Each structure stands twice: as C-alpha cells, then as structure tokens.
Amino acid sequence: MSRPAGGAPVIDVDDLTVRYGAAVALDAVTLTVRVGEMVALIGPNGAGKSTLVNTLSGILRPASGTVTVTGRLAHVPEGRQMFGSLTVDDNLRLGAWRGRDRSTARIYAIFPELARVRKHRAGLLSGGQQQMVALGRALMSRPQVLVIDEMSLGLAPLVVSDLAVHLRTLNAQDGLAVLLIEQNARLALELCSRAYVLEAGKLAAQGPSAELASSPAVVAAYLGGAAEEGR
C-alpha cells in the first residue's frame, strides 16, 4: 500500500509480519504515523491490533519486515493496567522517564479531576479516572508519540468524549503524535485525520478518515448503517 505524504515519520512499519508459532497474526502490514499526526487503526476483535501495539513497544518480535520508532514512544495499554494498591500519584510517577522529572504537576494541570484523588488508591477509581491515570502515566515520559490501545473500552460516552478533548488539546498544543487503536470506529474516525482498517491481520483499507467514513464497506462493517448518498 502507498505511504502518506507529509512530515517525518515517528512510527514507520514496513511489510510487517508477526507470528504466534505457526499462526500469522499480522501479514505484511505497512503503516506510518508522522510528526504531529493523529492516526487511527480500527478493526474487529482478533484483527491483530494489539499485536501491532505490542510489536511497536518491543514486547513481540517481527517474523519479517521492519518497525522504526523515531523519538520517545509511550504505550497506554488496553484495560488501563493500574497498580491498584498504589496511589494515583505513585502510578503517575512510575511513568517518569528513567527517574527524570518525577513531578506530577503537569499531569494534574491536564487532568484536574485527578488532583483531588491523587492520594487515593488507583484500584478504587472509576473507569474514566483510571483511564486518565493511564494516559497521565504515559505522558510522564514526555513522549513524541502516544500509542493508545482501546481508550474507550468500558467507558461511558460522556467520559470518552472528555478524553477525546484532552487528546485533541495535547495534539494541537504540544504537537503530540497519536496512534489510536480502537474498536469504536466512529470515535476513531472523528478524532483522527487518517485511518487504517485491519482485518484478519491484513490492512483492508487506508486513507483520510472522512473518505473511510463515507465508504459503504466501512460504514456497513463498523459504523452500523449505510453511507449517506452524495457524501
């Protein structure tokens, strides 16, 4: 598949194949995220989205192809993965890059709601608050690119909308690049300017989000309706 035009890539995946034993989880996937971009990766359960995230983070090794990450990458894992017995503040500090600048003041400025629960155990927080902690923990490393795996999982629509506003602000003000891996295709296509569709380990489509959102195949599979005529 062709690559997008634009600035320098912060994530460059080229012809990536990943296997679990004899099973192929990703098959010749090519994907790029450039400086300051917000890019979505959508697809059903079992499509290989989390496999891609874990390969980007170095948890999995490619069978073939290459993965190049330029700049600091931070990973917000699926399911938040809090240290439930630790406080919010302690969870945030665990994200600091090799012990540098462990001040959490910046995170509380981004997520003011966390300031009032900073001494609470993270395991006692609501799902939305835990997702803020997971995002804040990743931001403690001051990354150039943020990879978020299923941000909306298990959260109420109003909470998801609030998190989306925070991401847009970080992207606009700090130039933070984002790769958003989402089963919620509507959210992903509204939030990100470009998107890839992953199905059964292969890229089925890619392009500007507006074009994918008007594609009959994408609408039927992921948006629960028919594309608007003339759109």
Render 130-159 in DSSP notation, one character per residue: HHHHHHHHHHTT--SEEEEE-TTTT--HHH
Domains in the chain and their CATH numbers?
1-71+144-225 (3.40.50.300), 81-143 (no CATH)
| Structure tokens belonging to residue 8 | 């320098």
Helical spans, DSSP H, in the chain: 49-56, 88-93, 105-110, 112-115, 127-139, 157-174, 185-191, 209-213, 216-218
Kindly indicate the confidence band of residue 180, based on its pLDDT and cuts at 50, 70 and 90: very high
Predicted TM-score of the model (pTM) = 0.88
Segment (H or E) for 215: none
Q: Is the pLDDT of residue 100 over 60?
A: yes
Which residue in this structure is represented by tokens 């925070």?
166
pLDDT one-digit tens code per residue, 115-165: 999 999 999 999 999 999 999 999 999 999 999 998 888 888 888 999 999
Average pLDDT over residues 61-69: 96
Which residue in this structure is represented by tokens 């005529």?
229
Kindly indicate the confidence band of residue 3, based on its pLDDT and cuts at 50, 70 and 90: low
Identify the pLDDT of residue 6: 60
Contact between residue 174 and residue 110 where contact means Cβ atoms under 8 Å apart: no
| Structure tokens belonging to residue 142 | 């001051």
CA distances from 162 to 59, 60, 84, 114, 229 (A): 30, 32, 23, 14, 31
In this prediction, what percent of the chain has a pLDDT beyond 90? 72
